[in-house]
Amino acid sequence: MKQPPEIVVAGEIFVDLILSGLSGWPEPGKEIFASEFRREMGGGTAITACGLAKLGINVALLAVAGDDWGAWLRDRLGRQNVDVSWVERNPDEPTAFTIIATMPHDRAFLTYSGANRSFEAALRKRAAAHEFSAVRHVHLAYAPSPDSANSIFKELRANGCTISIDFGWREEWVCNPNSLSLLRDVDIVFPNETEARQLTGAAEPEGILARFRDAGVKRVALKLGSRGAALLWDGEIMLVDRYPVTAVDTTGAGDCFDAGFLYGSSRGETPQTCLRIANICGALSTREYGGIAGFPSLDQLTNEMNKTNPCAR
């Protein structure tokens, strides 16, 4: 009998259609041509799930795809050892996609949500049926609407699993002062510095985490980019310096950070060690283009952990 996944990463999934080698930006009524094109899996849901799988975690991805690119996504995820049996089909909508026009110093995006519109209903249906009861942890790589977040968290709690969330830059969350109280029902929150500043009104990492603590949020892993990372864990604040690396592409680095932290937590590591693991995974992912290619294997992570100074304070 197939073993249930240890972690389910649930959220929106995209196909990224990336156009590069452009002579300029498109203007109304005009056409420009790209000299290069590639199609990639997109979105933090896929990146975090693939990172966990690369570290040997039995991980499933819960998302909704259309009939157009759904089989392609399942194949790509399956090759990364992600359990795709939780990927649902929406025959009435295409798979969500983003057209990315990329220039050397900037990018522009056009996105169609498509099948992602039915994701939240799929999540709630599975939670109501207690399909997460054999799962240890659910990571939400999306932002539920603030009106439904509380009930979604409770439905997942009723399954007996722990919960983390990376809500990303969603104005209905980061600009809503009530969001802090909603996050009390989550075991780990994964904001980046920009999101956390907007949400808390504080400027520096210690102040940001203190605002979370004062609001009753117990555990926050704060991504600081080239400045490292910080952690609020049951009232204690910890910081870790940046992990030195020559970055090629920062796409998905925050999602790789999430995967590293969840890996450490699932293996019973201390909060400080989880923060170091997350910091290394996020940094190493920037060595290659895209969010998955540069993510370390378990052997690579172990080697980096053995040779690095934690630099925590």
Weakest mean pLDDT among 73-87, 141-155, 211-225, 299-313: 299-313
Weakest mean pLDDT among 106-115, 238-247, 256-265: 238-247
In the predicted model, what is the mean pLDDT of residues 258-265?
Answer: 97
User: How high is the pLDDT of residue 309?
Assistant: 54
Residues whose CB falls within 8 Å of the CB of residue 41, separated by 6 or more in sequence, listed in order: 13, 14, 15, 16, 47, 50, 73, 76, 77, 292
Residues whose CB falls within 8 Å of the CB of residue 313, separated by 6 or more in sequence, listed in order: 238, 239
- Computed over every residue of the chain, the mean pLDDT equals 92
User: How high is the pLDDT of residue 8?
Assistant: 98
Backbone angles phi, psi at 74, to 5 degrees: -60, -40
pLDDT interval class at 312 (50, 70, 90) = very low
For 12-25, the pLDDT digits (tens) are 999 999 898 988 88
Domains and their CATH numbers in the chain: 7-13+44-93+115-307 (3.40.1190.20)
pLDDT interval class at 128 (50, 70, 90) = very high
Task: Tell me how crowded residue 225 is: count the other CB atoms within 10 A of its CB.
Answer: 18
In the predicted model, what is the mean pLDDT of residues 209-233?
Answer: 95
| Residue 89 clears pLDDT 80, i.e. is over it | yes
Gap between the Cα atoms of 160 and 88, Å rounded: 23
Q: Percent of the chain beyond pLDDT 70? A: 98
In the predicted model, what is the mean pLDDT of residues 247-266?
Answer: 91
pLDDT interval class at 311 (50, 70, 90) = very low
User: How high is the pLDDT of residue 103?
Assistant: 81
User: How high is the pLDDT of residue 313?
Assistant: 46
